[in-house]
Amino acid sequence: MSDDAGRTRVSEVATEVALTAEEGRPAVEERRPEQEACAGRRVVLSTHQLTKDFKGLRAVDHLDLSVCEGDVFGFLGPNGAGKTTTIRMILGLIYPTQGHVQILNHRVPDQRLDALRHVGGFVDVPAFYNSMSARRNLRILGRMSGDVTEARIDEVLEMVGLSERGDSRVGGYSHGMRQRLGIAQALIHRPALIILDEPTSGLDPQGMKDVRELVRELGRQGTTVFLSSHLLHEVEQVCNRAVIMDKGRIVVEGPVSELRPARMSVKFLTSDQPRAAEVLGRLLGVGSIAESGAESLRVTAGDGLVPEMVRHLVAEGIDVRAVVPAVEQGLEDFFLQLTGASSEGNDQ
């Protein structure tokens, strides 16, 4: 199912995909009621018809999403999808043109101050007072959200691996250290919701790994995390639920475990590619067919179709030397399919 605004629920994507095999892209149907998303868990963050226009350009378009308590929620989308604008609205930095955000029982922007007491995070590149130490930055920023002890400052510095540099001026910090400090300042007042905007951006591989492990650990501890990223595998690694956004709208949402189509790609090794393609193309449920190497066809279709495809090829007298799984279609392909579909939809 998908909503009238073009959103697709992940769990339904597989079915949709099989039915729209010619395009190889998920279909768009009706909306899932927002309340269903948390299934009994408390909704920590939700947006309601959230919309933002900038000088005639719609950056976020009637966005409805909900993040449940304990979720590590992936907020995916390509550059310009409206992720950062959405986060800015959640954090009360910019005013929605329409709609509102709800953080626990507080509406943003109307009850921004009450809402922000429960939120920690950063948007874009975390920025600090360069002439001060990390410790002093944390002290200043943390105390804006409540009482913060020196022990807590030590604790978050330890968590992000900055203990040894906590007393150094932030002006001398590398990009990666600033990202870590950004996470530390998000955590300092033990908020119910942590919002991280591309936290691994600019980090080296080890830094990325550390940050992802930290986010996973936060999730294990029951902290609700809203993680914006354009790195699909990152979301796959650390999140339990996700939405994919494009051009200001959600194009798919649901559990990350389902965030891939049920179709699979297989390679048929055959010497008669044109005829094999013709035969397979006549079968209902077969998706894309493409030549893949000299004697191989890459075919996308549901799992159950493979035996039938083989039978048809053999019946037509076409040699099938082997059928092998193609490299598994990952989130990257899926993401491109979805955002590609969205682009086409908008172009029309």
Partner 1 sequence: MSHLRREIVKVLFQRRTYVGWAGLLAIPFIMTIALRLSTEQPSEGHGPPFFSSIASNGLFVPLAALAFLSFFLLPLVSAMTGSFVIAGEAETGTLKTLLTRPVSRSGVLLAKWFVAVLYVGVGLVLVGVGGALAGWLLFGVQPLTTFSGGQLGIAEALRLTALAYAISLVGMACIVSLAVALSTVTDSSLTAAVGTLVIVLILQALGQFSYFDFLKPYLFTARFEDWFNLLRQPIPWRPIWEALLVYSGYIVVLVGVAVAVFRRKDILS
What's the closest the beta carbon of residue 105 comes to partner 1, in angstroms? 15
Q: Which residue stretch of 88-96, 224-232, 239-247, 258-266 sits at the interface with partner 1 (rule: CB under 8 A)?
A: 88-96
Q: Which of 266, 263, 235 is nearest to 13 (CA)?
A: 263
Q: How far is CA 283 from CA 27, 224, 328, 329, in A?
A: 20, 46, 22, 21
Phi, psi at 251, each rounded to 5°: -100, -20
Using the rule CB under 8 A, is 141 a contact of partner 1?
A: yes
* Position among 1, 27, 132, 310 found at the interface with partner 1 (CB under 8 A): 132
Using the rule CB under 8 A, is 116 a contact of partner 1?
A: yes
* Position among 143, 233, 282, 311 found at the interface with partner 1 (CB under 8 A): 143
Subset of residues 145 to 184 that bind partner 1, contact rule: CB under 8 A: 145
Using the rule CB under 8 A, is 228 a contact of partner 1?
A: no
What's the closest the beta carbon of residue 182 comes to partner 1, in angstroms? 9
* Position among 124, 150, 291, 344 found at the interface with partner 1 (CB under 8 A): 124
Q: Please, which residue, 130 or 343, has the CB nearer to partner 1?
A: 130
Using the rule CB under 8 A, is 75 a contact of partner 1?
A: no
Polymer length of the chain? 348
Q: How far is CA 295 from CA 38, 51, 63, 105, 169, in A?
A: 48, 50, 46, 61, 61
- Residue 162 contacts residue 207 (beta carbons within 8 Å): no
Using the rule CB under 8 A, is 110 a contact of partner 1?
A: no
* CA–CA distance, 270 with 276 (Å, rounded to integer): 8
* Position among 123, 184, 235, 264 found at the interface with partner 1 (CB under 8 A): 123
- Residue 128 contacts residue 204 (beta carbons within 8 Å): no
What's the closest the beta carbon of residue 129 comes to partner 1, in angstroms? 6
Binding residue count for partner 1, defined by CB under 8 A: 32
Using the rule CB under 8 A, is 144 a contact of partner 1?
A: yes
Structure tokens at 16: 């949709």
293: alpha, beta or left? (left if phi > 0; alpha if psi -120 to 50):
left
- CA distance from start to end of the chain: 22
* Position among 42, 95, 217, 220 found at the interface with partner 1 (CB under 8 A): 95
Q: Please, which residue, 82 or 302, has the CB nearer to partner 1?
A: 82
Q: Locate tokens 């408390």: which residue?
A: 42
* CA–CA distance, 319 with 68 (Å, rounded to integer): 53
Question: Which residues contact partner 1 (rule: CB under 8 A)?
Answer: 88, 91-95, 112-117, 119, 121-132, 136, 140-141, 143-145, 185
